[in-house]
Structure 1
C-alpha cells in the first residue's frame, strides 16, 4: 500500500515543469513555460544532413502527474507534484493503494530506495480526454535518478520497465525535425493509442543515446553504463486547454476505462 510519506515537502523531488516548444494558437496560458527560439531550435536539424539528430516523439497523456519511490525504511511512496498521496487523498486516487500493492514486487525490483523515482500519468479520472482503451491506470514516462540528478534516456527507461508489466507512454516515431511544420503535421494526423480520437499533444526528447539519421554515423557513448536525457519539450494541441488540473475538477467525475 502507498504511504503518506515523511512530513514536510523538502524530501520530495518534484517533476520539473516541461516547457512548450511553441504555442499552437491559444494552447499556452500565461502560467505555462515557453521556450525561446534558441531553445526551440535545438530540436531542429536538416534531415538531409548526415549528422541529423533523431528526436523521440511520444504521445502526451492527459492525467495526474504521479511519482513512485521507495523510502529509506522501504515504504512505497506516491507523490502528486509537491505532496504525497494515497487512496484517501482524493477520489481520483481511490484505486492507487491497490495498484501499488499489485505492482509492489516489480517496483522493489527496479527502484533503489531514496534514489529512483518512477514518474508517470495516473489516469483513473477523465480530465479532458475520456480514455477507454488504457493498459493500466498508471502509464510511466520518466525515471529520475536522484543521485545523478538526471532523468534516464528513453532507451534506458524502457530497459528498466521491460522487466515489469508497467506500461510506458507510446512512442509515435523517431525522426529528425526540420521545423515547427513537422510537429504540426504530426499533431494533425496522429490518433491516440488509448481512445478513438486525436492525441492531446506530443512529448519530444533528445537523449545521450539518441541515434543519428545516418546509420553510418557512429555515436560514441560514454562508459558509465547509463545514458540520460539531454533535452525535452512538449507541444499541445490547441483544443486541449492548459490549466486542466483546475478545470477538470469542476466537471462530473468520470472514470477512464482499462481494457482487459
Structure 2
C-alpha cells in the first residue's frame, strides 16, 4: 500500500505543473514596477516575476545578425520632449532622439497608450539608430509562449504606413512578423487602429536560461504617426515530456485500480 501511495503522490507532483502555465514576464507590468530612474538599460530591467530581464535598445540595422551585434541601450530621460511629458527611455545619439519606450501618459497631443501597455515609437527610416529592438533574456529553461498585442495610437490621418513587428529566438530564427496598419490606413476601411489591436500569438518556443528573445519594431518607410501601444506577456508552459509522463502515470493508476476490482 505504501508503494501505491508513493506512486500516486509522484504522479500528482508531475501532473499538477504539467497542466499549469506560469507567467514569467509582462512587458508593461515589469516596466511600471520600477521607478524609471532606478533602471539601468545597460544591464537590463529585471522582470517582476524574477525570471529574466528586459532591455530596450536601438540599432542602424534591420537584419538580425548585424543589429544584435551592435545594439545600443536606450537612455533614461527624466524630462519630457516635445509631445512627450513622461519619463522615458530614448535614443540619445540617434536621429530626433528616437526610438522611445515609455509608459502610458507619455503622448500628450493624441490618444495615449492604455494603462496595460507601453507606448513606443521607432526611429525615422534613414536616420541614425532608427531601428527599435526590445529583448527579454530568460531566467528559466523550458518552453514559453509569447502573447500580447500591438496597435497604432496616433490619430495622424496622413500618408503613414504603420509599423512592422518581428520576433526572433536566440538563434536568430524569425518566429513571426506582424504588419500593423496606421490609424490613417485603417480609418479608410471603417476601422480605428487605436482600438483595433493586432494580437501576438507565438507558441512553443524552447529557451534555456540566459537565452534571449528579440522584438524588432520597424517604422517601414514613414515613421510619421507611428506612436504605438505594445504589450507582451511571456508564459512558461509544460513541456511535452512532462505531459506524457503524467498521462503514463495516470494510466498506471487506472490499470492498477482495474486489476484490484
Taking structure 1 as the reference length, the TM-score comes to: 0.26
* Higher-helix-fraction structure: 2
Compare relative contact order (CA 8 Å, sep 6+) and give the higher one, 1 or 2: 1
- When Rg is computed on C-alpha atoms for both structures, the one with the higher figure is 2
